[in-house]
Amino acid sequence: MSKKSLDCSHWAVLLLAAFPMAAFATAPFQSPAKPGAGSQQSDAATVTPNRGQAYYHYSLGHMYFELAQAYQRQDYITRAIEHLRQAIKYDPSSAFVNVELAEMYAQTGRITEAVSEAEDILKRFPGNLDARRLLGRIYVRSLGGENGQGVRRSSQSDLLKKATDQFEKITQGDPKDVDSLLTLARLYRLDNESLKAEGAFKKAVEADPDNDEALVSLAQFYGESGKTQEAAKLLEKASSHNQNPRLLAMLGETYEKNHEYDKAAEVFRRALEQDKEDPDLLRSLGSNLLAGEHLDEALKIFQDVIKADPQDANAYFRLGQIYRQKHQLAKARDSFRKAQALAPDSLEITYNLAKVEEMDGAPEEAIRLMKKLLDDTAKPDGVSYTEPEKANRAAFLEELGLLYRNLERYSESEQAFRQMMVMDPENASRVEIQIIDVLRQSREYQKARAEADAAVKKYPDDRSLRVSRALLTADMGSVDSSVKELKDMLQAKGSGDAEKDDEEKREVYINLTQIYEHAKRYDEAIDAIQHAEKLSKGKEQKEIVYYLWGGIYERDKKVEQAEKLFRQALEQNPDSSMTLNYWGYMLADNNVRLDEAVKLINKALELDPQNGAYMDSLGWAYFKQKRYDLAEQYLLKAAQRSLRDATIKTHLADLYFSTNRTREAVNKWQEALAEWKNTLPGDTDPLDVAEVQKKLEAARTKLAKEGK
């Protein structure tokens, strides 16, 4: 006899010994009827109910089923089922044994008999939740094509309805059954019943507030529904007592979606403490450090990732982003090219390479790369783009439009934006604002106004579009009507979302500030910016407020007050290039603390090396220091980037006049006056015009005397 036979026999002997011998005398084995729903009832009348015999056959049935699982013996399965059916005969009122038989059918792949048995149980015992759970599980498995041979003829929608019906009744009968509530919620989601799904997920959490699966399931639902703040709260609760790296990673990803990068980084650190070898957790930590502008920490992490895996294209890509933000453009370009060699089909890498070329003063190369992206993603006429493909092409066209606009190639810029509008009609109103700005910069003011009017008529509920038109209208001279339009927006009924309504009001006050400042209505500008300050939250918003407020005082020749506001702006953001530049330019223009002015503007240029306005500011500061060679160097660079900027032309003219190049000075002052003549009233200061005219007359007089 084999060892296995000895074990089985010993097991059987022990089990049989547990029953009294009398049981054998009263219950000789009877062959059951053929399997099928209700077959046990037909024979029940011939057998005297006996719970002892029922238990005996039930136990033997379980023994044979376990033996069948251990030794893969089909005959043991047959015996197990026969004994369970015998148990039912001896105790026909027992729903428990009936459910066990149905479960056995299901576990051995006899789905038709399992369904039939479960349905028969429910006819006799409608409140039996175990039978409903079994039937519900069978329907759910069949939805996925798993073990569905008994119900496969049903359509997916029919199966979904049957499964949902069972789990609805289960959760009504047992409101604390968390597993069934979660299954019901997922079934609702399959049927696109989002509100019902949310309700079922919430009931699962209420039934067991510390159940991690319930918390995570509801969090996932919220995350996919865009309710990432609610998702984060649930995941925080789950992770407070469960430091599973997968759970922590989910929390970190949720913080990342909420743009809470520092929180995300901290959570990924905790996850790495649990699983130090997971490279994905390390990459996620690095990405959030980068997004949170902790550049040196992020740099070290991605350098470590590359050491571990030199073929990691994404790590090289992240290095490129870090170097770009650190303005180490040669290293950024090198990293992006290494990433491109490993992932030659990546659109994102090429896009970022174009951004580096733009920053490095090579806009034509940036344009070439953007056009290449558009060519590489183009489809033949008549072939439709997918939604992701449309989104990519819209992003490329937008960047191309901005590049052309910065080069003052306005016709090509407008064309790119109009193509973008076709590719991304959902954001057409936002693109209209870009087109209006291009037309304004190209000095096609009436065309810009017509475009704005048509766009507002087409998208009357777009506040940003209405604001854009109001700003254009004010600069064209109709200040009061623009102010009225913006104030009407302040009085309009809000959405009911207090935070959103406050943000919209803040934006209106910001734009009112700019209109009043351009119109030299400084008291009203200060009143508007004070309202904006009260509605500002976070350092970024406050930086903008103090920057604009300082600009009001600068325009009103109140230098001391302006400096105070610029300091406050830099307290919010020490690397605010626009504040550094404006402050430095103001000092230079007033011929005070020139060394400090140069230092401030130089720092602004380090942060934004290709900004023509900052080059002009630095050139002007050097001019005030009488460092004419440096002044000319930066003023000429600025003039190359802004061919139609009247202020840069006046600065060059002053430089030429001071270095005895009177005729060149006259030419530049004349060009400046011509530019001002073609600009909007809001973009021109009559005092500046009068001063240039005075200088021009003096220079002409000098030339006349020299000519005699």
Per-residue pLDDT reduced to its tens digit, 315-326: 999 999 999 999
Per-residue pLDDT reduced to its tens digit, 36-74: 444 444 444 456 777 888 788 778 877 887 887 888 888
Mean per-residue pLDDT for 633-639?
A: 96
Mean per-residue pLDDT for 533-556?
A: 96
Q: Which residue has the higher pLDDT, 243 or 600?
A: 600
* 512, two tokens: 């009112």
Q: Which residue has the higher pLDDT, 160 or 432?
A: 432
Per-residue pLDDT reduced to its tens digit, 656-684: 999 999 999 999 999 999 999 988 887 88
Average pLDDT for the chain: 87
Residue holding tokens 């430089």?
Answer: 655
Give the gyration radius of the chain's Cα atoms: 39
In the predicted structure, residue 30 carries a pLDDT above the cut 60: no
Query: 644-708 adopts what CATH topology?
Result: Methane Monooxygenase Hydroxylase; Chain G, domain 1 (1.20.58)
The listed range with the strongest mean pLDDT (37-51, 104-118, 465-479) is: 465-479
DSSP alpha helix (H) spans, 492-537 = 498-518, 522-534
Q: Which residue has the higher pLDDT, 444 or 78?
A: 444
Which pLDDT value is given to residue 269? 93
**CA separation for the pair 442, 454 (Å, rounded):** 19
Q: Which residue has the higher pLDDT, 33 or 104?
A: 104
Q: Give the pLDDT band of residue 24 (cuts 50, 70, 90).
A: very low
Which pLDDT value is given to residue 488? 93
Q: Give the pLDDT band of residue 86 (cuts 50, 70, 90).
A: confident
In Å, the largest CA–CA distance within the chain is 146
Distances (CA, A) of 113 to 36, 80, 101: 6, 15, 10
* 291, two tokens: 């997004």
In the predicted structure, residue 6 carries a pLDDT above the cut 70: no
Which pLDDT value is given to residue 175? 92
**CA separation for the pair 600, 577 (Å, rounded):** 9
Task: Please check whether residue 235 is in contact with residue 251, taking contact to mean a CB–CB distance below 8 angstroms.
Answer: yes
Mean per-residue pLDDT for 287-309?
A: 95
Considering only 23-32, 64-73, 143-152, which range has the smallest mean pLDDT?
23-32
Considering only 179-183, 309-313, 332-336, which range has the smallest mean pLDDT?
179-183
Mean per-residue pLDDT for 442-464?
A: 94
* 622, two tokens: 């050097």
Mean per-residue pLDDT for 9-34?
A: 33
**CA separation for the pair 570, 567 (Å, rounded):** 5
In the predicted structure, residue 283 carries a pLDDT above the cut 70: yes
| DSSP code of residue 241 | S
Which pLDDT value is given to residue 150? 46
Global confidence as pTM:
0.73
Nearest CA among 182, 191, 264, 250 for reference residue 218: 182
Q: Which residue has the higher pLDDT, 42 or 160?
A: 160
Which pLDDT value is given to residue 513? 97
Per-residue pLDDT reduced to its tens digit, 340-365: 999 999 999 999 999 999 999 899 99
User: Interhelix angle for 463-475 vs 445-458, to 10°?
Assistant: 150
The secondary structure of 144-196 as a DSSP string is TTSS-TTTTTS-HHHHHHHHHHHHHHHHHH-TT-HHHHHHHHHHHHHTT-HHH
Mean per-residue pLDDT for 525-545?
A: 96
Q: Give the pLDDT band of residue 546 (cuts 50, 70, 90).
A: very high
The secondary structure of 376-401 as a DSSP string is HT---TTPPPPHHHHHHHHHHHHHHH
In the predicted structure, residue 101 carries a pLDDT above the cut 90: no
Per-residue pLDDT reduced to its tens digit, 597-608: 999 999 999 999
At residue 372, φ and ψ (nearest 5 deg) are -60, -40
Provide, for the chain, the percentages of residues in helix, strand and coil under a 3-state DSSP scheme, each rounded to the nearest 5: 80, 0, 20
For residue 400, give the amino acid letter: L
Per-residue pLDDT reduced to its tens digit, 357-412: 999 989 999 999 999 999 999 999 889 999 999 999 999 999 999 999 999 999 99
DSSP alpha helix (H) spans, 91-154 = 95-107, 111-124, 129-143
**CA separation for the pair 204, 358 (Å, rounded):** 53
In the predicted structure, residue 529 carries a pLDDT above the cut 90: yes
Which pLDDT value is given to residue 83? 82
Percent of the chain with pLDDT over 90: 60
Considering only 123-132, 306-315, 456-465, 582-591, which range has the smallest mean pLDDT?
123-132
Which pLDDT value is given to residue 79? 87
